[in-house]
Structures are given as C-alpha cells and as structure tokens.
Amino acid sequence: MALKKIDEAVHYTAFFIDIALDDNVENTDGLSFAKFLSEKSAYKDTPVIFTTNFPDYVYEALNHLHCYAYLLKPFQQEDVFHQLDQILRTNDSIRFKTADGIYMKLDTDEIYYIQAFGRNMHFMTKHGEITSRQYTMKSLNDILSGSFERCHKSFLVNKKYIQSVNPRTKTLHLRGLDDDIPYGKDFHIK
C-alpha cells in the first residue's frame, strides 16, 4: 500500500522509515521500501532517516540506501529535531532530469523563475534556460515553497529577486532580468 501511495505523491523532503515494519517480527520491510525509493528518480537523493530497534542493518542503510541518519530506539525527541534541522538547512537545491536526459542539481539561489509551457518547465537561471519535464508546476510549488512564490498559473518566481511590482501592468520586475513577469489576481507579496 505504501509503495502505491508514494508513487502518486507529489514530493517529500525526507522519509522516516522503521526497518521492521512489523514490530512483532524482525524483518527488513523498511529496507525494501527505502530501496524502492532509491530507484525512483524523484526520490533518489531524498534523505532517509531510519528509526529501528535493530542495529545490525546500519551498514546496509548507510552504504546502499541514502541513509541520512540511523536512530536506534528508544531515541530522544531532540535527536529527531536535530536531524530535521540538518535536512531543512541543506534543502537549498533541486535535482532533475533535463529534456536532453541530463541529470542536474541546481542551487535554488541561481533560479530567477520557472515558467510552464505545457508539460515543459523552463528554469530561467543565472546561467541560461534549462528545460525539464520531470516536475509539474504544482509539485515545484510544493518543493520550492519557502523561497519561491507562484505569482501566476504558469510562473514561479524566486522571491529574493523581486525588485518591483507594477499593479497597473500586473507585472513583476526581477533584479538581473530585462523581461517582466506577469502576476495573477491571487498573487500577494508575503
């Protein structure tokens, strides 16, 4: 059931997985789930925090399954908060596959805005335009919600580059760009 749900999911920043999904039996269903995640391009590099009673699987988790942390039960609430803080501090980039089939990691600070053209997402960056079909506008809005604002049904803008808002023409001017970006009636600067 979890495998089906994760396949339909938009985006997760991290996963907490217990190695034994059935507390009554020592099993490795959680490891199988983490392996499944590592084979999904959208989650290949998503941090996994294992919570478990079994110390025997630490090697496999760390070396094969993109394990970010391995918390042995009983663990303290502070341990969980510390791991989450570390993950959230490093969530300043996005990984995707370009329309040319190249896998990239792009710092969010380098993205001025993202524009949707049908299924294509055009990333306007400091280094030029990059096109990808891996994400939808909705999923990008969820992933980049902290530093980006959806100003229009077809545009996500990096808030740090908004230089001015023109209510007469309903456009945003972004620092470093010549072209203005349209905004819709639901857009409000936060």
Identify whether residues 101 and 51 lie together within a single domain. Answer: no
Identify whether residues 59 and 98 lie together within a single domain. Answer: no
**What's the total number of domains in the chain?**
2
The percent of the chain in helix, strand and coil, each rounded to the nearest 5, is 30, 35, 35
176, amino acid identity: G
Identify whether residues 77 and 103 lie together within a single domain. Answer: no
Identify whether residues 129 and 162 lie together within a single domain. Answer: yes
Domain CATH for 174: 2.40.50.1020
- Please report whether residue 190 resides in a domain: no
Confidence of residue 129 (pLDDT cuts 50, 70, 90): very high
Identify whether residues 78 and 135 lie together within a single domain. Answer: no
Q: What is the pLDDT of residues 8-39, one digit of tens each?
A: 545 677 888 888 766 666 566 888 888 888 88
Confidence of residue 89 (pLDDT cuts 50, 70, 90): low
- Please report whether residue 77 resides in a domain: yes
The last residue of a domain, from among 59, 89, 119: 89
pLDDT at 86 exceeding the cut of 80 = no
Identify whether residues 76 and 147 lie together within a single domain. Answer: no
pLDDT of amino acid 6 = 63
Give me the domain span that covers residue 84. Answer: 2-89
- List the strands of the sheet with 155-158, edge to edge: 128-132, 120-125, 111-117, 155-158, 148-152
